[in-house]
Amino acid sequence: MDNVTHSLTGLALARCGLGRLTPRGTLLLLISANLPDIDMVSLAWGPLANLEIHRGYTHSLLMLPVMAAVSVGVTALLSRTRLLWPQAFGVAMAGVASHLLLDWTNSYGIRLLLPFSSEWSFLDLNYLYDFVILAVLLLAALWPLLARLVSDEIGEHKAAGSGMAIFALLFFVAYDGARYVMHGRAAAQLDSRLYDGETPTKVAAMPGPVSPFTWQGIVETPSAYRIVPVSSIADFDPAAGHTYFKGDWNAGYDIVSKTEPFRYLRYYARFPLWRSEPATLENAGVADRVTLTDLRFGMPPGPALSAEALLNAQHRVLETGISFFGGRSSKSGADAGR
pTM comes to 0.90
Contacts 24+ apart (CB under 8 A), 99-102: 99/6, 99/32, 99/33, 99/34, 99/35, 99/36, 99/37, 99/59, 100/36, 100/59, 100/61, 100/64, 102/1, 102/5, 102/6, 102/9, 102/126
Lowest mean pLDDT among 71-85, 127-141, 238-252, 293-307: 293-307
**Residue 218, pLDDT score:** 96
Task: Look up residue 140 and give its amino acid.
Answer: A
Least confident among 51-55, 147-151, 262-266: 147-151
pLDDT of residue 300: 77
The Cα–Cα gap between 5 and 212 comes to: 17
Give the rounded percent of residues in the chain with a pLDDT score beyond 70: 91
Mean model confidence pLDDT for the chain: 89
145 neighbors 13 (Cβ within 8 angstroms): no
Antiparallel, parallel or unpaired: β 327-332 and 202-207: unpaired
Q: Could you give the percent of the chain with pLDDT greater than 90?
A: 68
For 263-298, how does the pLDDT look when each residue is reduced to its tens digit (9 = 90+)?
A: 999 999 999 999 998 887 666 566 889 999 999 988
Which pLDDT does position 210 carry in this prediction?
82
With residues binned 3-state (H G I as helix, E B as strand, rest as coil), the percentages for the chain, rounded to 5, are: 45, 20, 30
Of 73, 87, 68, 70, the C-alpha closest to 25 is 87
What local confidence, expressed as pLDDT, does residue 238 receive?
85
Q: How confident is the model at residue 334 (pLDDT cuts 50, 70, 90)?
A: very low
Q: What are phi and psi of 157, to 5 degrees?
A: -130, 105
Closest Cα partner for 318 from 280, 292, 269?
A: 280
Q: Tens digit of pLDDT for each residue in 160-218?
A: 588 999 999 999 999 999 999 999 999 999 999 999 899 999 999 999 888 889 999 99
Residue 324, SS3?
strand
Beta carbons within 10 angstroms of residue 125's beta carbon: 21
Q: Is 250 helix (H, G, I), strand (E, B) or coil?
A: coil
pLDDT band at 234 (very low <50, low <70, confident <90, very high): confident
Alpha helices in the chain (DSSP H): 3-15, 25-32, 47-53, 64-79, 85-104, 131-154, 162-191, 251-256, 260-268
14, 58, 81, 84, 102 from 88: Cα distances, Å: 12, 19, 12, 6, 21
